[in-house]
Structure 1
Amino acid sequence: MNSSSQRSFVTTSHGRIAVEEQGHDGLPVLLIHGNSSCRGVFRKQLQSALAHGRRLIAFDLPGHGGSDNAPDPIRSYTRPSIADAAVELLAQLQVSEAVVVGWSLGGHIAIDMIARFPGLRGLMIIGTPPVGRDNMAAGFTGLPHARAASREQLSDAEIDDFVAAIFGASAEPFLRDAVVRTDGRFRSRLFEAIRTEADYTDQRVTVKESRVPLAVVNGDTDRIVKLDYLDTLSYGNLWEGRCHRLPGLGHASFWEDPTQFNPLLDRFLRDIESGR
């Protein structure tokens, strides 16, 4: 990571959260990583010109990276609770308005923040199909490597397959280490709660009814998300009127090729900053 990054720990009701910030002034941008990953996956954004005149904030989810395992996994390792943790984090950082960029599970968390964070200026989701409990299969491929996302214990081979499916040839050792470090209870509880808990909103309805500017970005070779499904949804305020597909990139497009992704994010942020 860039030596000029500011690193800190923020105490929330869901445990101590590891935070990394780049830039100090201007629009705050919260970066939320996916299941069994870490904030380091946003290195190529934190160390880029995107931080000029902005405040980029990346953090490790509870049970991930440098953050603590949650003191109460049953409470904290659910999608709504992680959204609550993100809102707590922003309050502790004295951020009242921000754009949120969420990747994979991070995108689902970001969508749940729409109802929880009144200062949400804009939202970009990457590799995140908005689904309801009744249509999960419509948005995801369901390939064997994807099932690892819900399992508490993973073999070495399953970890390797999981990392390869997400990052392909762009994988670095720390991304595998992030899977190994993740509290396995996070994965199992996350999916148990999706099946059984009552407070899960239908994200199809959320993106249809929300007036928050929403950018939908995917790699066009994503092996986890059904991209055509995203084009069938109704959106209340879809940025540039279409879902964006980045050619030749997979599930982690922002990591695989920042030369394609970063200009797109910059354009979105500039539109938010200018009030378009």
Structure 2
Amino acid sequence: MAMAPIDRMITTSDAALRVRDTGGDGLPIVLLHGSGSSIDVFHRQFADPILSHYRLVAIELPGHGLSSDAATPDKTYTLKGLAGVVTETLTSIGVSRAVFFGWSLGGHVTLQIAATTSIPVALLLSGTPPVSLGPLGLLRGFQPSFDILLTSKRHFSERDVTRFAQLCFGDAFDPKFLTTIARTDGRLRVNFLRSLMHGHGADQRRLVETSSMPIALVNGVLDPFVRLSYLETIPFANLWRDRSHLIPATGHAAFWHAPQLFNPLLNAFARDAELVLRAERLNLRRA
């Protein structure tokens, strides 16, 4: 049984990151948040008894929340850079296998980690289309709209902050989210999109088409960013239950809007993935 979560700061090679960790001997579920957010967005996962037998670990990305800004933003605020500091953090706290739940930006980071890590992993992606890097790949995976330009804008006005909160959480968002969005280092938005546009990372689509690791897709049916029809065109090598899961009447943050529907899916996926991860861990020890 997991303990009550504890927050601590982990110093990496380029930033100090806030980590919320329930500890315990259960399978680690690593939660990575989206752009402009923080680990506090996962409160409804940490508070749910259905997930209490796992070790929940939420990592606050550099430039967000109470984590520090990156010392070298041009390097760290990229696909490879963010994956690197998260992997460094997991090593320092002793995570040697994990189910990743990556939301939005966090999902893209988990895909990069999965492409480079040697530890057994399974991925649940929400608000994250696995894309081929470059302009064409991004156009295929995301909805074309004026609002999506906010994801790459360095300086947010007060109106931008409110609009970004509405896009991520709908009109009934927690007012605290405005402070979190306003705090975010805008250099991350610029540099991260640049790394996607210029292909500085793994081909995410190719990864999910060829890798045997378990992958689950859980999205809000009203997501304003993700082109849901695009997901149906990807021949996943190991898609959980052979389908994409849609949560009705929810948008980009389905896990926050409808935890009573999302959390049972996360629990079921982690339960199924644990068998695979345990076998892979044994194989690594024998090798």
TM range (shorter): over 0.9
TM-score for both structures, normalised by structure 2: 0.91
- Give the Å deviation of 1:105: 0.9
- 1:180 corresponds to which residue? 182
- 2:78 corresponds to which residue? 78
1:256 aligns with 2:261: no
The answer to whether the 8 A contact 2:114-2:121 is kept is no
Secondary structure, counterpart of 1:263 in structure 2: helix
1:171-220, Cα deviation, whole Å (9 max, x unpaired)? 10221111101011111111223234x53222110110111100011011
Q: Which amino acid aligns with 2:15?
A: G
Tell me the distance in 1 between the aligned counterparts of 2:61 and 2:212. Answer: 27
TM-score for both structures, normalised by structure 1: 0.95
Tell me the distance in 1 between the aligned counterparts of 2:36 and 2:195. Answer: 17
- Give the Å deviation of 1:264: 0.7
Secondary structure, counterpart of 1:56 in structure 2: strand
Tell me the distance in 1 between the aligned counterparts of 2:107 and 2:57. Answer: 15
- Give the Å deviation of 1:22: 2.3
Tell me the distance in 2 between the aligned counterparts of 1:168 and 1:20. Answer: 26
1:147-166, Cα deviation, whole Å (9 max, x unpaired)? 11101101111111111011
Secondary structure, counterpart of 1:157 in structure 2: helix
Secondary structure, counterpart of 2:64 in structure 1: coil
Residues 170-249 of structure 1 mapped to structure 2, 5 A cutoff: 170-196=172-198, 199-249=200-250
The answer to whether the 8 A contact 2:221-2:250 is kept is yes
Identity %: 37
Tell me the distance in 1 between the aligned counterparts of 2:116 and 2:6. Answer: 26
1:90-143, Cα deviation, whole Å (9 max, x unpaired)? 100011111111001111111111122222331100011111113211111132
Secondary structure, counterpart of 2:115 in structure 1: coil
Q: Which amino acid aligns with 2:158?
A: D
Secondary structure, counterpart of 1:19 in structure 2: strand
Provide structure 1 residue ranges, at least 5 long, that are not aligned to the other structure: none
1:144 aligns with 2:146: yes
The answer to whether the 8 A contact 2:10-2:19 is kept is yes
- 1:166 corresponds to which residue? 168
- 2:281 corresponds to which residue? none
- 1:45 corresponds to which residue? 45
Tell me the distance in 1 between the aligned counterparts of 2:120 and 2:258. Answer: 27
RMSD: 1.5
Deviates more, 1:112-121 or 1:12-21: 112-121
Secondary structure, counterpart of 2:95 in structure 1: coil
Tell me the distance in 1 between the aligned counterparts of 2:234 and 2:263. Answer: 25
The answer to whether the 8 A contact 2:26-2:54 is kept is yes
Residues 35-114 of structure 1 mapped to structure 2, 5 A cutoff: 35-114=35-114
Secondary structure, counterpart of 2:25 in structure 1: coil
- 1:30 corresponds to which residue? 30
Tell me the distance in 2 between the aligned counterparts of 1:271 and 1:201. Answer: 26
Tell me the distance in 1 between the aligned counterparts of 2:237 and 2:228. Answer: 19
